[in-house]
Structure formats: structure tokens, C-alpha cells
Amino acid sequence: DQQVKQNSPSLSVQEGRISILNCDYTNSMFDYFLWYKKYPAEGPTFLISISSIKDKNEDGRFTVFLNKSAKHLSLHIVPSQPGDSAVYFCAASAVWSGSRLTFGEGTQLTVNP
Amino acid sequence: DTEVTQTPKHLVMGMTNKKSLKCEQHMGHRAMYWYKQKAKKPPELMFVYSYEKLSINESVPSRFSPECPNSSLLNLHLHALQPEDSALYLCASSLYRGESSYNEQFFGPGTRLTVL
């Protein structure tokens, strides 16, 4: 049972345009959501997070939106840069799971110059 | 210091070898994790230590043996591994979820393990 889903395995955008990465979850007990970026042969890098008490969190070029009723979150990157090309993982956390994160399968973002 | 360090960066071992992976953090985090990651897959949780005690073991084979000597160090001892254990092994740390709702996990760069 995959509780966090990223249905798009890949996304390609032009430099300067907006990248929108999507994530859906099934467990309503999740109350904290995170996005990680991963380059090949490196560890994931924390990007941005959002608590379930908010519907938006912004950090520079990165904005995460949370729609609790739809159990959906998205990561917007504006403007996209070639250096943003990486795999992006969505993850979720709940008090009942202790410190465990549940990851999605990831989306490969390619930003073309 | 907001870094998680891991050594070695690369490791090649035979199926009869014994080796150890090491992880260190100085962010005062009391939760530390071992993950295994295969190519194009999300990190797969192996073990969680909370306050230096093993709190989660995700049914990992006994050929993987974790150890948390103190609040800053985490080891993973390897013995009699199989070729299918070849993967990127990641260490992470975070605040303990009981301390804060904001438990971002910070990952190290990983150890690329190849079992021959």
C-alpha cells in the first residue's frame, strides 16, 4: 500500500519557466510534508517543508502548496534553472509513525537550457 | 555545523568480508537513521535510533548490524553480504518527532557499496 504517490516519473521544462511537481497521499494522519532533491550518487537534500496547519510555504524560488481536502501537495519552482535537474522526492510524516518518513517514488526533473 | 558526514565514500567488499560504515553529526539530533537506496528508487528505511536506542528495525537481515556508540555517531556493521546488497547506504539525522513536529531529516552523502 503506497501511502505517498508521485504519479509522474519524469518532467521536462524549459529554463526560466515554472516546474510543478505533484504528490498525493492517502493517509489523513500525515501532518508534515517535505520535499527532497537528489542528484545521482549523492544523499537527498532537504528543500522545503509544510505543516498541515498551513496551505502554503515559500522559500526563494520554491513554494509548496498543500490541499488537505484533496490530500495533494505540489512543489513549484520559479524560475526553473538547469541546476534544478534532479530527482525530487515527496515525503510525509505523522506523529503515530514516530520519526519515520514515508517517501514517494520520485520525479526526475530535467530543465533544458 | 549542519552536516552529516559518512565514511567511506565508496566500499567494495567480498561476500566473506566484514566491514563497517560510519556516520557522524554534530547538530544535536537525537534521532539517527540508516537507509538503503537503489538506483531510481526512494530511500528505504533500515534502522532508526532514538536517544541512542534502536527504536525501529525494518526487518533487516542480521548480516546488517547497527550500532550507536553515542549521540553523534552511528555505525553499520556488515558481514557476509550478498551481491544484491550493493546499493547506496545513507545515514540521516533529525530532531526526535516527540521533541518537534518539524523533524526534517538531514542526509549524508552516502556510501556506495559494491558486494562482489
Residue B59 contacts A where some CB pair is shorter than 8 Å? no
Q: Residue A44: list chain B partners with CB under 8 A.
A: 43, 90, 107
Residues A29-63 have pLDDT tens digits of 999 999 999 998 789 999 999 999 999 999 999 99
What average pLDDT does this structure show over A98-102?
81
Supply the DSSP symbol for A84.
G
Residues B26-75 have pLDDT tens digits of 999 989 999 999 988 899 999 999 899 998 888 899 999 999 999 999 99
User: Per-residue confidence at A108, pLDDT binned at 50, 70, 90?
Assistant: very high
**Residue A39 phi, psi (nearest 5):** -90, 155
Residue A89 contacts B where some CB pair is shorter than 8 Å? yes
Residues A7-32 have pLDDT tens digits of 999 999 999 999 999 999 999 999 99
Q: Residue A42: list chain B partners with CB under 8 A.
A: 109-110
Find which of B21, B96, B105 to mutate to test the A interface (most A CBs within 10 Å of its CB): B105
Q: Are B88 and B111 in contact (CB under 8 A)?
A: yes
Q: What is the DSSP string of B62-80?
A: TTEEEEEEETTEEEEEEES
Q: Residue A31: list chain B partners with CB under 8 A.
A: 101
Residue B107 contacts A where some CB pair is shorter than 8 Å? yes
Report the percent of chain A where pLDDT is more than 90. 85
- Confidence at residue B40, expressed as pLDDT on a 0 to 100 scale: 81
CA-to-CA separations, A67 to A47, B20, B48, B101, in angstroms, rounded: 19, 43, 30, 19
Chain A nearest CA to B62, separation (Å): 21
Q: Are A63 and A55 in contact (CB under 8 A)?
A: no
Per-residue pLDDT at A95 exceeds 90? no
What average pLDDT does this structure show over A81-86?
97
Strand partners, A33: A50, A92
Supply the DSSP symbol for B91.
E
Residue among A95, A104, A108 minimizing CB distance to B97: A95
